[in-house]
Amino acid sequence: MMGSFSINSRLTKSSPKTLESEPCRILAQSLRERNKEMASGILEVLLVSAKGLGDTDFIGDMDPYVIVQYKSQERKSGVAREQGGHPVWNERLKFKVDYPGQAGEYKLSLKIMDKDTFSADDFLGEAKIYVKDLLTSGVENGSAELHPCKYRVVSATQSYIGEIQVGVTFTLKEARDYDGEEYGGWSQSSF
């Protein structure tokens, strides 16, 4: 015996020849409201250089690199080969940012590491840059910049071991209307 079922759908009069179910309409409205409250943009980190880092290698110079983290995103700089405690990177790393986004701290964590060939890489130290004010200003003005300046690098024992020079820029992406497909949903179809 075959079962029977029925599908109940509603036609809306938003535009001719458009089918839109109530749950899809509610989702689209919710996303539109959320987008008014949240801004998206690109946070660009300019790693310039570091100095005063203690040399951990007995033979040769250190090969420093930086792991930059923003919330759940992580980027890694190139290795400054044989540059010891005074590396120069002049490298840009980009992060996608939603602001205000989910709860949490708005900070960049910069972990300075020494690349080793025959053993695990050594942790040299870490610097933190709080970017909430930068993001707020960028959302209000379209962009904001922290010109390159020096930040203290502290070791695992919380002692000062040098400094790193970093610049940070936030650029707001232009707001766009909701597109259901972009969020993994269905866009309206007309026939």
Q: What is the dihedral of CA 47, 51, 55, 57, to 10 degrees?
A: 30
Burial of 153 (0-12, 13-18, 19+ CB in 10 A): buried
Lowest mean pLDDT among 54-68, 87-101, 142-156: 54-68
Q: Residue 23: pLDDT above 50?
A: yes
**What's the rounded Cα separation, in Å, for the pair 60 and 114?**
12
pLDDT digits (tens, 9 = 90+) for 67-105: 999 999 999 999 999 888 899 999 999 999 998 877 678
More confident residue, 38 or 92: 92
pTM over cut 0.85: no
Whether the bond between 100 and the residue before it is cis, its omega within 30 degrees of 0, is yes
Kindly list the structural domains of the chain, giving each domain's residue range(s) and its CATH number in brackets, ordered by start: 40-172 (2.60.40.150)
pLDDT digits (tens, 9 = 90+) for 130-143: 999 999 999 999 99
Instruction: Tell me the DSSP string of 82-98.
Output: T-TTS-EEEEEEEEEEE
